[in-house]
Structure 1
Amino acid sequence: MGFNLLLSCVLITFVIAVIMLNIKHRKKYARLPPGPSPWPIVGSLPERMKNRPTYKWATKLMKQLATDIVCIRLGNVDVVVVSSAVLAREFLHKNDAIFSSRPNLMSSEYASFGYLTMGLAPHGQQWKKMRKMYVRELMSSARVRWLLNKRNEEADNLVQLIHNQCSKNPEGGEIIDIRLTVRQYCANVIRKMTFSKRYFQDIQHDGSPGDAEKMHVKEIFDMLKYMDEFCISDYLPWLRFLDIDGLENKLRTCVKVIEKYHNPIIEDRIKQWKDKRREHPEDFLDILITLNDESGRPLLSIDEIKAQCTELFFPCDNPSNAVEWIIAEMINQPNIMQEAREEIDKVVGKDRLVEENDIPKLSYLKACVRESLRLHPVTPFVLPHLSTEDANIAGYFIPKGTQVLLLRHMIGRDPKVWDEPLQFEPSRHLQDPSKKVEISEPSLNFIAFSAGMRGCPAMPLGVAMTMMLLGRLVQGFTWNAPPNCENKIDLSEASHGGLYLSKPLHAHAKPRLPTTTYGIPI
Structure 2
Amino acid sequence: MLSFSILLVFISFALCCLFKPQWRGKANQPSLPPGPKPWPIVGNLPQLIKSKKKTSVSHWIHSFMKEMNTEIACIRLGNVHVISVTCPEISREFLKNQDAVFASRPLTMATDVLSKGHLGPIFAPLGEQWKKMKRVMVSEMLSKARHQWLYEKRVEEADNLVRYVHNQCKNSNEGGLVNLRVAARHYCGNLMRKLVFNQRYFGEGKADGGPGFEEEEYIEAIFTSLTYVYSFCISDYFPSLRGFDLEGHEKIMKEATRVMDKYHDPVIEDRIRKRRDGKIDEPQDLLDVLVSLTDDNGVTLLSIDEIKVQICEIMLAAVDNPSNALEWALAEMLNKPETLRKAIDELDNVVGKDRLVQESDFPRLNYVKACTREAFRLHPISPFIPPHVSVADTTVGGYFIPKASYVVLSREGLGRNPKVWDDPYEFKPERHLQDCKEGEEVVITEPELRFISFSRGRRGCPGVVLGSSMTTMLFARLLQGFDWNIPNNKGAIDLSQGKRDSFLAKPLLAVAKPRLSPNVYSFPKINE
Q: TM-score, normalised by structure 1?
A: 0.94
Deviation at 1:109, TM superposition (A): 1.2
Q: Which residue of 1 aligns with 2:69?
A: 66
Deviation at 1:62, TM superposition (A): 0.6
Distance 2:138 2:18 in 1: 50
Deviation at 1:230, TM superposition (A): 0.9
Q: Which residue of 2 aligns with 1:41?
A: 41
Q: Which residue of 2 aligns with 1:182?
A: 184
Q: Which amino acid aligns with 1:508?
A: V
Q: Which residue of 1 aligns with 2:272?
A: 270
Q: Which amino acid aligns with 2:355?
A: R
Contact 2:21 2:78 in 1 (8 A): no
Deviation at 1:23, TM superposition (A): 11
Q: Which residue of 1 aligns with 2:415?
A: 412
Q: Which amino acid aligns with 1:269?
A: R
132, 135, 140: which one aligns with 1:137 = 140
437, 446, 450: which one aligns with 2:455 = 450
Distance 1:293 1:174 in 2: 53
Matches within 5 A, 1:500-511: 500-511=503-514
Q: Which amino acid aligns with 1:482?
A: P
Deviation at 1:521, TM superposition (A): 8.0
434, 437, 441: which one aligns with 2:442 = 437
Distance 2:285 2:497 in 1: 37
Q: Which residue of 1 aligns with 2:518?
A: 515
Distance 1:269 1:106 in 2: 30
Distance verdict in 2 for CA 1:278–1:23, change over 3 Å: closer
Q: Which residue of 1 aligns with 2:106?
A: 103
Matches within 5 A, 1:353-392: 353-392=356-395
Q: Does structure 1 residue 476 correspond to structure 2 residue 481?
A: yes
Q: Which amino acid aligns with 2:344?
A: R
Distance 2:18 2:256 in 1: 42
Distance 1:16 1:199 in 2: 52
SS at structure 2 position matched to 1:381? coil
- 1:409-460 CA-to-partner distances (Å, cap 9, x unmatched) read 1101111111111110111111144333111111111111111111101010
239, 257, 260: which one aligns with 1:258 = 260
Deviation at 1:388, TM superposition (A): 0.2
Contact 1:156 1:519 in 2 (8 A): no
Q: Which amino acid aligns with 2:432?
A: H
Distance 1:187 1:510 in 2: 24
Q: Which amino acid aligns with 1:461?
A: L
Aligned length: 506
Matches within 5 A, 1:275-290: 275-290=277-292
Distance verdict in 2 for CA 1:47–1:292, change over 3 Å: same
Distance verdict in 2 for CA 1:16–1:472, change over 3 Å: closer
Deviation at 1:165, TM superposition (A): 1.2
Distance 1:61 1:362 in 2: 40
Q: Which residue of 1 aligns with 2:239?
A: 237
Q: Which residue of 1 aligns with 2:210?
A: 208
Deviation at 1:227, TM superposition (A): 1.3
Q: Which residue of 2 aligns with 1:338?
A: 341
485, 495, 505: which one aligns with 2:499 = 495
Deviation at 1:15, TM superposition (A): 7.4
Q: Which runs of 4+ in 1 moved over 4 A?
A: 14-18, 21-24, 26-30
Contact 2:159 2:523 in 1 (8 A): no
Contact 1:195 1:285 in 2 (8 A): yes
Q: Does structure 1 residue 467 correspond to structure 2 residue 472?
A: yes
Distance verdict in 2 for CA 1:114–1:16, change over 3 Å: closer
Distance 1:249 1:22 in 2: 29
Distance 1:77 1:297 in 2: 41
Q: Which residue of 2 aligns with 1:158?
A: 161
Deviation at 1:25, TM superposition (A): 2.9
Contact 2:332 2:427 in 1 (8 A): yes
Distance 2:22 2:445 in 1: 44
Matches within 5 A, 1:120-135: 120-135=123-138
Distance verdict in 2 for CA 1:306–1:166, change over 3 Å: same
Distance 1:418 1:489 in 2: 24
Q: Which amino acid aligns with 2:222?
A: I
Deviation at 1:518, TM superposition (A): 1.1
- 1:376-402 CA-to-partner distances (Å, cap 9, x unmatched) read 110001010000001101111101010
Q: Which amino acid aligns with 1:153?
A: E
Q: Which residue of 2 aligns with 1:112?
A: 115
Q: Which residue of 2 aligns with 1:86?
A: 89
Q: Which residue of 1 aligns with 2:310?
A: 308
Distance 1:221 1:24 in 2: 36
- 1:292-333 CA-to-partner distances (Å, cap 9, x unmatched) read 111111111000001111111122100000011111111001
Q: Which amino acid aligns with 1:286?
A: D
- 1:247-294 CA-to-partner distances (Å, cap 9, x unmatched) read 000000011100100111111111111111221101010010001111
Distance verdict in 2 for CA 1:149–1:521, change over 3 Å: closer
Identity of aligned residues (%): 48
Contact 1:476 1:511 in 2 (8 A): yes
Contact 1:81 1:405 in 2 (8 A): yes
Q: Does structure 1 residue 25 correspond to structure 2 residue 29?
A: no
Larger radius of gyration: 1
Deviation at 1:26, TM superposition (A): 5.4
Deviation at 1:483, TM superposition (A): 1.4
Deviation at 1:484, TM superposition (A): 3.3
Task: Please give the root-mean-square deviation of Cα atoms over the aligned residues, in Å.
Answer: 1.9
Contact 1:228 1:381 in 2 (8 A): no
Contact 1:332 1:489 in 2 (8 A): yes
SS at structure 2 position matched to 1:51? helix
Q: Which amino acid aligns with 1:228?
A: Y
Contact 1:173 1:509 in 2 (8 A): yes
SS at structure 2 position matched to 1:98? helix
SS at structure 1 position matched to 2:76? strand
SS at structure 1 position matched to 2:512? strand
Q: Which amino acid aligns with 2:137?
A: Y
Q: Which residue of 2 aligns with 1:4?
A: none
Distance verdict in 2 for CA 1:24–1:232, change over 3 Å: closer
Q: Which amino acid aligns with 1:412?
A: G
Deviation at 1:203, TM superposition (A): 3.9
Q: Which residue of 1 aligns with 2:9?
A: none
Deviation at 1:113, TM superposition (A): 2.1
282, 293, 296: which one aligns with 1:294 = 296
Contact 1:42 1:236 in 2 (8 A): no
